[in-house]
Amino acid sequence: MNNRIDSMSNIENTNILEVKDLEVKIKLDEGILTPVRGVSFNIKEQETLGLVGESGCGKSLTSKAILGINNKNCIRSGSVMFKMDNRCINLLEYKRKSKELRKIRGKKISMIFQEPMTSFSPLYTVGNQISEAVRLHITKNKKEAEKISIKMMTRVGIADASKRFNQYPHEFSGGMLQRALIAMSLVCNPKLLIADEPTTALDVTIQAQILELMKELQKEFKMSILYITHDLGTVAKMCDKVAVMYLGRIVEYASVYEIFKNPMHPYTRGLIGSVHNIGASKEKLFSIEGTVPLAMNLPDRCSFYDRCTSRDDKKCLAKEPCLTQVSEDHYVACYNIDNNKINDINK
Ligand SMILES: Nc1ncnc2c1ncn2[C@@H]1O[C@H](COP(=O)(O)OP(=O)(O)OP(=O)(O)O)[C@@H](O)[C@H]1O
């Protein structure tokens, strides 16, 4: 059986992406690192899912694994079902450099990275790099590709786009270059945009404008977004659902409303606390003690144990908790969630 192309029945009707048990292993001289350990989530059409967590918890490797753009030493397993053209394919079944994946990248699924300066080559004009995607996926005609690119550059708010088309990346400001990067990602009208910390390198006012622009374009192009960030503040603005990631696993998964109203995992509560408490305490800013450990030779116990303020030695040291459903759209991987809180939600 060809398990690359499956019938639509393998993916829920409104989902555009279904990631199941995604694992990424990296062979190092010291041993095998498993920075992504059985991640599962779905994204519906036109929905935005936020993938949130501190630096090093595996967000970028998860998104790169979806598109097959990890380093060569990363071994991926699990499944990534993507719906396109009335069929459903498992992206993990294709080789990284396969013709099929190249057709999907940039055309059906696009990605924006946090640092626009490293996404553009300094050697070519910005316009040349935007229209390259058009020439690859839409038309071979250079003039027509230029016209489509300039239209998109204008749409993302780049004034005097025909002139800007012939300029080099160093002639753009950070915010303008991020707009150009958005133009490059959306010029082929993808169905899914993976935005990895798209505004981290920008100052706060420009950040707000770029996020607003992404939301407008999402509506216009009827696109879904996987929004990767460590910043819960922007999640509230951008996302419909949130998956909180810790040490390569999703520890809480819920609607954005639920995450902020009823955060259940101590890690999620810590992340929210570190946003909400800014300015509230006169003594010191709230932070979660410690850092994300390395995902190598992990003992079978709760991976958040060492940093958790509500740990229970008997339960938490025995086994790593699974993601468990606590209400219709809320899943948590923790033994110590407050049962009263669950009853409240389920009422
Ligand atoms: N090619 C690699 N070789 C070795 N370790 C790697 C490699 N790529 C990532 N890692 C490690 O895997 C872990 C997860 O990395 P990843 O980049 O996915 O984290 P992240 O959550 O996206 O963090 P950030 O927000 O800082 O990008 C980190 O500990 C990182 O150092």
Instruction: Give, in order, the Cα–Cα distances in Å from 169 to each of 90, 122, 125, 127, 135.
Output: 36, 6, 7, 10, 20
> How confident is the model at residue 13, as a pLDDT?
73
Which of 57, 60, 49, 46 shows the shortest CA–CA distance to 16?
46
Q: Give the tens place of pLDDT for each residue, 122-168.
A: 999 999 999 999 999 999 999 999 999 999 999 999 999 999 999 99
Cα separation, 276 vs 285, in Å, equals: 10
Checking if the pLDDT of 2 tops 50, the result is no
Helix (H, G, I), strand (E, B) or coil at 80: strand
- Looking at residue 342, its pLDDT comes to 53
**Extended strands (E) in 138-296:** 192-196, 224-229, 241-246, 249-255
Ligand 1 mutation target, pool 26, 63, 64, 292, most atoms within 8 A of CB: 26
Taking CA atoms only, the protein residue closest to ligand 1 atom 12 is: 35
| C-alpha distances in Å from residue 54, one per residue of 74, 247, 320 | 21, 9, 20
Hunting for tokens 């989530």 — which residue is that? 41
Rounded CA separation 290/307 (Å): 6
User: How do residues 185-214 score in pLDDT, each as one tens digit?
Assistant: 999 999 999 999 888 777 888 888 889 999
Q: Looking at ligand 1, which atom is closest to the CA of residue 71?
A: 1
Q: How confident is the model at residue 216 (pLDDT cuts 50, 70, 90)?
A: very high
Indicate the pLDDT class of residue 341, thresholds 50, 70 and 90.
Answer: low
61: CA distance to ligand 1 center in Å? 6
Distance CA 294, CA 31 (A): 12
278 pLDDT band, cuts 50/70/90, is very low
**Burial (Cβ within 10 Å: 0-12, 13-18, ≥19) of residue 27:** exposed
Angstrom CA distances, 247 to 50, 61, 124, 180, 321, stand at 16, 12, 38, 33, 13
Q: What lines the ligand 1 site, CB under 6 Å? A: 26, 28, 33, 35, 53, 55-61, 71, 230, 294
pLDDT at 292 > cutoff 60? yes
pLDDT of residue 276: 54
- Rounded to the nearest angstrom, the distance between the alpha carbon of 192 and the centre of ligand 1 is 23
Give the pLDDT band (50/70/90) at residue 314. confident
Q: How far apart are CA 344 and CA 12, in angstroms?
A: 29
Give the chain's end-to-end CA distance (angstroms, integer): 46
Counting atoms of ligand 1 from 1, which one is nearest the CA of 294? 29
Note the ipTM here.
0.95
Of all helices (H) and strands (E), which one includes residue 292?
none
Q: Residue 221 C-alpha to ligand 1 middle, in angstroms?
A: 31
Amino acid in the structure at residue 174: G
Q: Which atom of ligand 1 is nearest to the CA of 73?
A: 1
- Record the pTM: 0.89
Distance of CA 217 from the midpoint of ligand 1 (Å): 29
- If you compute the radius of gyration of the chain from its CA atoms, what whole number of angstroms results? 21
Q: Which atom of ligand 1 is nearest to the CA of 62?
A: 18
Cα-to-centroid distance, 302 and ligand 1 (Å): 20
Going by pLDDT thresholds of 50, 70 and 90, the confidence category of residue 345 is very low
Is pLDDT of 346 > 80? no
CA of 277 relative to ligand 1 center, distance in Å = 28
Residue having the nearest C-alpha atom to atom 14 of ligand 1: 58
